[in-house]
Structure formats: structure tokens, C-alpha cells
A and B are shown apart, each in its own frame.
Chain A
Amino acid sequence: MEKIFKRCQSLYDVPTHYCPGCGHGIAHRLVAEVVDELDIREKTIGIAPVGCAVVAYDYWNFDCSEAAHGRALAVATAIKRVHPQNVVFTYQGDGDLAAIGTNETIHAANRGENLSVVFINNAVYGMTGGQLAPTTLLGQKTSTSIEGREKKAHGYPLKISEMLALLPGVCYIERVSLQSPPEVLKAKRAIKQAFENQINNLGFSLVEILSPCPTYWGLSPKESLDWIRDVMQKEFPLGRIK
């Protein structure tokens, strides 16, 4: 009998360290499936962020580099310029890409670096214990916005994807979600598009993935998925942005 579902070659067979219901594991798998399907495992170089996904290279079976917090796109820029034949992508959280690393993000995009970005928006800083992120929703409680995010004190949820879409160097931006199996499939298609764009030398592509962090949302895994659908997707509408 033919096996129709198996482990991808681009994923190691190791236990996960992520919390139950976390979106990172799903996103890792989607990346691995895309790499397998495009048959680019031996050409791929991934840049892991500083954030909960800091050890992404413990899961991915291809060349990887660490980057200091926020600097993944500077590291990726250089690797891709040195090895234009390779497929180079970054995998970054919202704190990494849209707070400490905003400058690197905007300028890599504006230079039109031929890179693919997997951007995990979970509306908190997971790794450091659930603090306010640039993407935290108004009213959302975190350990540093105890009464909930308040616009006067904390500003508004940052729409970095919409901002980047303004830049001529950017070729593709889509926002997807891990909220349900059909959405997960759409997320995978978007990641594949971002990788294909790079292979076709089209420039900077970014996929923003709304991803659950049950631990710091104080919700069960199921409630987290519902919260993405009912609350988060209202602030961060899904679909092609550019």
C-alpha cells in the first residue's frame, strides 16, 4: 500500500520543544514540505531568529545560521549575495522582525533583496515570557500591558506587512493563518509562492503567519485558534497584500 503521509526529508525525527498548541511546529513543517516539494533541500539556507524558534535548526535538515535578535535579514542579505544560487530564507517572530529588527527588515525589503521571509505573528514575545509585542492587539493583556494594550500608552498594533507593501523592492506579501486546516494549506501555498519567487529572481517576498501562542494568550489550544479567527484576523485581515 502506498504511504500518503510521511515525514518530510527536510525535518529531523526529533521530539518538539514547543508548547502544546504552538504554531511554530506547524510553520516549521510547512517550510520543510515546501523545501521538499521544490527539491531544494541541498540548496537551502535558513536563518533562525532569536525567539521561541531560536533552535529551528534542530528541526530542519538543511544548512542554517543563527542571527542576533532582529538581524536575520542582514545575515540573510549577505549569505544570498555571496551565494546567489542558493535559496535563502529567514524565519522571524514579530518582536524580531517588527521591533528590534525593523530597520533591517525595511532596508532589506527596500533593497529588493531576493529573499523569502517567514514571519510568525503571535502577538506576543513568546520566548521572554509573554510581553507586549509590536503586533499585540488593543486590549490584549500581556505581562507588560497588564490592563491590556492601550493606544495612548502603547500605540497601535503595527502592520509591518502593509508598510512593506509600499516599497517598490517588494514583490510579494501575503498574510495567512494557522487557524484551521484549510488556512494551514493556504499558508503552505503562500510559503511556496515566496520560495518560488526567489528561485525566479523576483525579489523580496514575505509571508506573515498568524500563529497561536496558547501559553501567553492564557487560552487552550482550541480557544487560541478561535481567537485567531474571531479577534486577530479582524485586526490583521488575511489575504494577498501585494
Chain B
Amino acid sequence: MKILLSGNEAIAQGAIQAGCSFYAGYPITPQNEIIAYMAKHMPSSRTGVCRTGKGQSQGVFIQAESELAAINMVYGASAAGARAMTSSSSPGISLMQEGISYIAGSQLPAVIVNIMRGGPGLGNIAPAQSDYFQATRSGGHGDYHLIVLAPACVQEAYDLTQTGFDLADRYRVPVMILGDGILGQMMEPVQLSTKKIKVSLAKSWALDGCQGRKPNIIKSFFLREGALEDANLKLQKNYAIIQQKETRYEGLFLSDAKVILVAYGTMARIAKSAISQLRSAGKKIGLIRPISLWPFPQQPFSIKNSRVKYLVLEMSYGQMLEDVRLAVGGRREVEFLGRSGGGVPSEEQIINKVKKIL
């Protein structure tokens, strides 16, 4: 069945489909549709959580008193074994950073949605991609990572949210769905999944009372000498596996491209329109669209043609640019076009830039 949803609604519906049984959030534009959707479909309940993702779920919805409370509620719900999610936009995500660090340190699964807006400070509510560093470089304290997934259309927002819950559970890590205001507000038809989800709350490490077992403890505090280093090495091992297995990207026209545009999310859609114009004019242009921003897909950048050039496009002044440079390792030219604060590089600007590079 296909229904018309906004990106924000698709994320919420994807979460419910994935068996999300706990949501806490605090209103902020441009992601208010997520909290409203969850309120409607996951009515506040103190009597148990949903186990399926079907229809009106019986999960717990809480409008928290702040993003600090919201992320720490997610910590608690996840510690209790629930599939838990929160959503916010840039300033709210900044407030959550301590909690995200605790979630990572305590090896808890969780899904955190950031529908980015303009910054710094209160900035504005226009779409932006300026939180890339914060998302991919462990925005809170300590050596940790989030898996960061960046959908480019509403269908993908729906699908990747479900993937996010699975990855969070599989690796016991926080997963961020990173979108922007355009994606959040845009409406597109979505093919709903009919897959029956069986989510078990029975996690051997979760807190539900120590009946018939030794007590479980959820914590990120390791005082004994060497204990924190051991715990951190365990996290690093997990991250290495994730880097090996969980990179995702889309590649277009990589075999003949002379200039490869690199863009994610909404920016990649604009890049695609520019590419179709350029190619119909006979220009050999390709695209790498990272879908996982962490782990960043290195593999598509190992293109043999030594004359290939990259053009990184962002709704920021160059954040993913650093990852592309690392992936390319100085072997190829890397150009950049970016705007921020509400400015979005246009098709025309992209085409002009490409023509200069070619």
C-alpha cells in the first residue's frame, strides 16, 4: 500500500513499523510532525508497551520537559529493553549530547532523529546540513560513534528509520537519522512495509527485575584502573565491525564520470537534477551519495581514473568535505560548493561550478 506522507511522518511511521515502543520528545521546528504523529499513534500509556508495530500501538509517548529529559528518558527506556526513539532539531540535539554520550558508553540501542536547521545559535528554521560534524564526530564527550543514516527521500526516511532500529539493537549503539527541513516537510508517496516485526523485549542485559538471574547494571562509569580503557576498547572493536559491514551509499555513473559530485540527503537530490541536465548535454558527471555518514563509505572513492575530480556539495561550509578528502587521500582534486544559513546550492550554481572544473 502506498500513502502520501511527509518526511517527518514517514520517520514516525517507520519507527512504529519497526516496533518502537517508547518515544519522548520536545517540540522544535522543523520536526514537530514527528512528535505529533507519535502522540497520535502511540498514546500515552502507563500500562505496558507495544510489541508489534501494528496500527495504534500501545507504546509509551511522553512530551518531555526538555531535550535533556527526553534523551535521558530514552536512556531509561532502552535500559529497560524497549525500542526507544527521540527526535529533535539542531539546538535540541546539542542539548542531548551528554545523554547520547551516556547511551553510547552504556552500550544502549536508541534512535535519535535530527531534522537539521540553520545555526549556530538559534539560527533559523531553514533547512541546513551544518550538524554533520556533530553527528559523525561524537558530538558529546568521549571516544564514541553513532551510526548516522542520511535519507534523501521520504521513502528512504521510512525505510532507514526501520534499519536504524535494527542496527541499534544488533550493535547496541545509538543510531542517528540525519535529515534536513526540506526532507522533513516534503510529501511523497511511501510504500508501506508489510513485514511483520517481531520485537522481543527480552534482552539478557536489560533491566526488568533480577528474577532468577544475577542483577543487571546499566552504566558507563568505570573507576577501577584500566577498566575504562577495557570498556573503550570493546566499543572500538564494535565500531571496527560496523565500519566493515555497515557502510551504505548510492553510486551513479561512476564508471565513466570525469567529475563526481558528492552529496547526501536533500543536497543529493539537487545534485541528481544537475547531473541529468549535464549528462543530456553530453558531460560525463557522476554521483556518490553517502547514505551512512558514519561509517563513511570510503570504497566508492577508490576510482582508478587518475583524472577524475570530485565536487562536494553541502548545505554547510564544508563538513563532509573533510571525510571526502580523507577518503581520497590527496590523490585526486576535491572541489567544494556549499551554502548555509538557509541558502541551498541551486542546480544552476552546481552546473556553473562543474563547467569551471571540467
Q: When each residue 74-89 of chain A gets 1 if its CB lies under 8 Å from chain B and 0 otherwise, what string results?
A: 1111111111101000
Most B-side CB within 10 Å, residue of A41, A63, A65, A67? A63
B223 / chain A contacts, CB cutoff of 8 Å: 55
Whether A71 pairs with B68 at a CB distance below 8 angstroms is yes
The listed residue (A65, A77, A84, A103) touching B62 by CB distance below 8 A is A77
- Whether B220 is near chain A, meaning CB under 8 Å from some CB there, is yes
Q: When each residue 94-122 of chain B gets 1 if its CB lies under 8 Å from chain A and 0 otherwise, what string results?
A: 00001100100010000000000000000
Chain A min CB distance to B240 (Å): 26
A66 / chain B contacts, CB cutoff of 8 Å: 102, 106, 217-221
B64 / chain A contacts, CB cutoff of 8 Å: 74, 107
CA distance A75 to B79 in the complex (A): 9
CA distance A83 to B49 in the complex (A): 8
Whether B211 pairs with A43 at a CB distance below 8 angstroms is yes
B48 / chain A contacts, CB cutoff of 8 Å: 84
Whether B77 pairs with A81 at a CB distance below 8 angstroms is yes
Of the listed stretches B145-153, B202-210, B324-332, B348-356, chain A binds B202-210
- Whether B306 is near chain A, meaning CB under 8 Å from some CB there, is no
- Whether B181 is near chain A, meaning CB under 8 Å from some CB there, is no
Of the listed stretches B80-88, B258-266, B285-293, chain A binds B80-88
Known: A75-B72, A79-B77, A103-B65. A42 touches B47 (CB 8 A): no
- Whether A173 is near chain B, meaning CB under 8 Å from some CB there, is no
Whether A114 pairs with B210 at a CB distance below 8 angstroms is no
Whether A103 pairs with B77 at a CB distance below 8 angstroms is no
Interface residues of B in 30-82 (CB under 8 A from A): 45-49, 60, 62, 64-66, 68-70, 72-77, 79-82
CA distance A82 to B58 in the complex (A): 11
Q: What total of chain A residues lie within 8 Å of the partner, measured CB to CB?
A: 37
CA distance A35 to B216 in the complex (A): 17
Chain A min CB distance to B210 (Å): 5
B217 / chain A contacts, CB cutoff of 8 Å: 57, 63-66
- Whether A26 is near chain B, meaning CB under 8 Å from some CB there, is no
Whether B46 pairs with A79 at a CB distance below 8 angstroms is no
- Whether B21 is near chain A, meaning CB under 8 Å from some CB there, is yes
The listed residue (A48, A64, A81, A103) touching B22 by CB distance below 8 A is A81
Whether B210 pairs with A42 at a CB distance below 8 angstroms is yes
Whether A78 pairs with B207 at a CB distance below 8 angstroms is no
CB nearest neighbor in A for B105: A66
- Whether B142 is near chain A, meaning CB under 8 Å from some CB there, is no
Whether B76 pairs with A75 at a CB distance below 8 angstroms is yes
Whether A65 pairs with B79 at a CB distance below 8 angstroms is yes
- Whether B24 is near chain A, meaning CB under 8 Å from some CB there, is yes
Whether B65 pairs with A67 at a CB distance below 8 angstroms is no
Known: A42-B211, A54-B221. A83 touches B80 (CB 8 A): yes
Chain A min CB distance to B344 (Å): 36
B24 / chain A contacts, CB cutoff of 8 Å: 78
CA distance A3 to B46 in the complex (A): 42
CB nearest neighbor in A for B44: A81
The listed residue (B65, B73, B106, B221) touching A78 by CB distance below 8 A is B73
Chain B min CB distance to A83 (Å): 5
Whether A63 pairs with B210 at a CB distance below 8 angstroms is yes
B46 / chain A contacts, CB cutoff of 8 Å: 80-81, 84, 114
Whether A104 pairs with B69 at a CB distance below 8 angstroms is yes
Known: A65-B217, A66-B220. A86 touches B209 (CB 8 A): yes
Known: A43-B211, A54-B221. A79 touches B76 (CB 8 A): yes
Whether B65 pairs with A107 at a CB distance below 8 angstroms is yes
B207 / chain A contacts, CB cutoff of 8 Å: 45, 63-65, 79, 83
CA distance A231 to B219 in the complex (A): 37
- Whether A140 is near chain B, meaning CB under 8 Å from some CB there, is no
Chain B min CB distance to A50 (Å): 8
**Further pairs besides A43-B211, A57-B219, A61-B210: 14, Cβ < 8 Å:** A45-B208, A45-B209, A48-B219, A65-B76, A66-B219, A67-B75, A77-B62, A77-B73, A78-B74, A78-B82, A79-B79, A81-B60, A83-B209, A84-B46
Residues of chain A touching chain B, judged by Cβ–Cβ distance below 8 Å, are 41-45, 47-48, 54-55, 57, 60-68, 71, 74-84, 86, 103-104, 106-107, 114
* 27 CB < 8 A contacts A-B: A45-B80, A57-B217, A62-B209, A63-B216, A65-B76, A65-B218, A65-B219, A66-B102, A66-B219, A66-B220, A66-B221, A68-B99, A71-B69, A74-B68, A74-B69, A74-B73, A74-B75, A75-B75, A78-B60, A78-B62, A79-B77, A79-B79, A79-B207, A81-B46, A82-B82, A104-B69, A104-B72
